[in-house]
Structure 1
């Protein structure tokens, strides 16, 4: 009996860790599928319609939890910072889907994967957090990866690429604010983001409105439901296992982006994109592991879009 008592906690911890990894991989697949579905939708409908109808579906799914936890919405810490977080999350999602109208899915994801690198740089510059020379080197290398993927020149630079890069900066700032608001309940974090995209979508949707077909309405609803489901999987994953265990699996998003981009849209990644994303992932993993070793407890945030 005593032997079983010693083995059981170890097995429970290992099972929780494996479940956390599995949920993180599942969430990344769902986020990637939702991103590909969004890119498919905006080929016919406006980004405003996608934001609005996607948010409608998500809020319908979340409404029972919002009602059950309605009291927490009236006692939020630092309301103005909460509002800034909603604005940034809304701009980030809008920038993502505006960019994928014109760019391959893998290219846009590449810029967003630089988020953890931007977070570390901004932590040092804005929050005065101490960042050692090793991580500064990794930040510079990561920026080089972004430049390789961006391929800046008078012939190749484009507004969609700059929009995607701007979205990734919004995402990085969003992660910093989320880190400082970590006492805020998950339901508030999730629902407020969809409220933001609902409001922006409601403003944008009338411009270039195309009446959705019944099958398209199903696609809009699926995009919202997938996004909520993926969000819950991420949150549950981080509760089951340490961030240092599950967060590196978020980089699998680029694999799905390449697969969905090729199968659905016929996109073939450019060599510069492959090289750039390799550099970004290597730098991001080093920064994450270095911060974990120093016991700084990084905030993973949620995957883009």
Structure 2
């Protein structure tokens, strides 16, 4: 293992962590503030990836693809919130899970109807298709640096919004005691709608940025939803800071494990056994991490109401 390889994998882990944060931040806002378990959040991520890839391929503009993804997903999220999610406020979590799981099935079939069942290979913008020399001998894809920068900016923006603006104060008030906030004149319903749309926008942005790094395909939302829920639990439900820290930790553990665990196991196991065993152990590492955190802090690292 060389120093260059280690630094590359650390940067890859940070990039994956930031993508998880974009998705988990929306989840933790919706679940922690609105008390709605929205499994359809992954479908919004998938929709953002498909729309961005389609518009980029047609127009040649990556920025146009991202903006189109945000616009389409926001409209879809608005319809979802008006016609379904509002009816789930105050309902038990089982009803929320069943209702939003139905949305996943509908979304997958809708994507199959519009774009077909075959995966779409999205491309990065031409200006960011080449590598950048960060250190002597360390060439790193410039598009992945864009993802890192976007994750940092979104994290700072969310922190400022939730903790240092009047909107954030209203959000926290509605989450802490909805009835009291309504008595004080806060239109909690509108605040919750804004939170839901903000979460949808983050999911769309994550999908649009993730498309060039992986195949855009049906079911990609469900695949990314599971580690996002792990991030939600580790960080603490309703905590943006917790989602940020947990996403980076999970991203690093997953990436470092998949990159270096095979090298470690090959020193005393056969290559055939390593090829089967290493991915399984690396996949279980994040769940072991979640179990370890919950054993000592059942409410997560940074519980919103700790």
Higher relative contact order (CA 8 A, sep 6+): 1
